[in-house]
Amino acid sequence: MSSNASGHVARARDLALVAHGSQQYGDQPYRVHLEAVLSVLSRFGVEDEAILAAGWLHDVLEDNRSVCRIDLERSFPEAVVAIVDACTDGEGESRDERKKRSLGLIPQTHNAIVVKLADRIANVEASVQGNDEGKLAMYRGEHGKFSRTLRASPSDRAFAAAMWDHLDQLLT
């Protein structure tokens, strides 16, 4: 990774940790979830700087009123911004309504599926580790639509297939 590349990833990490601040992921600091997403990416051999930076930032637009797309555009390459934007849920009263935006954009955005898969794997693994049957049931219930919608996305990344296999195993 070039120094500029590692700079993008380090800046993404710093921004995400500040933006999420005191937010919690269950009973832990939110950084635990972000670190889990990066761990999943690493386990599957992802080294692409845009994907890694977007992994840190994937929830920053959705969870923070203090950060907007323009803020990201000032600090990161368009490849990073596009992935983060695609992974950002929209408005809506139900989870299904909020997910509609991202499920529409992810298949159209280069490498967004890899970040979304890492996020979903991290969430499911946390639910397994925490014996959170309610969340596991939710993810199992969503898996058919999630899979049908996002597997149709062309991916030039060989590790996406391995990520899908792992997610399928976690949810069966």
Instruction: Write the pLDDT tens digit of every residue in 123-150.
Output: 999 999 999 999 999 999 999 999 998 9
Identify the band that residue 116 occupies on the pLDDT scale cut at 50, 70 and 90. very high
The string of DSSP letters for 17-31 reads HHHHTT-EETTEETH
| CB neighbour list of residue 114: distance below 8 Å, 6 or more residues apart | 41, 46, 51, 155, 157, 159, 160, 163
Report the alpha-carbon distance of residue 149 to residue 120 in Å, rounded: 14
Cα–Cα distance measured from residue 28 to residue 98, given in angstroms and rounded to the nearest whole number: 24
* DSSP letter assigned to residue 106: G
Helix boundaries (H) for 44-94: 49-57, 60-63, 69-75, 78-86
CA-to-CA distance for 107 and 83, rounded, in angstroms? 10
**Around Cβ 4, how many Cβ atoms within 10 Å?**
9
Q: What is the mean pLDDT of residues 138-167?
A: 86
3-170 sits in which CATH class?
Answer: mainly alpha
At 74-107, the pLDDT tens digits run: 999 999 999 999 999 999 999 999 999 999 999 9
pLDDT at 3 over 70: no
Confidence at residue 79, expressed as pLDDT on a 0 to 100 scale: 96
Angle between the 158-170 and 133-151 helix axes, to the nearest 10 degrees?
Answer: 150
pTM of the model: 0.92
pLDDT over 90 for what percent of the chain?
A: 78
The three-state secondary structure class of 76 is coil
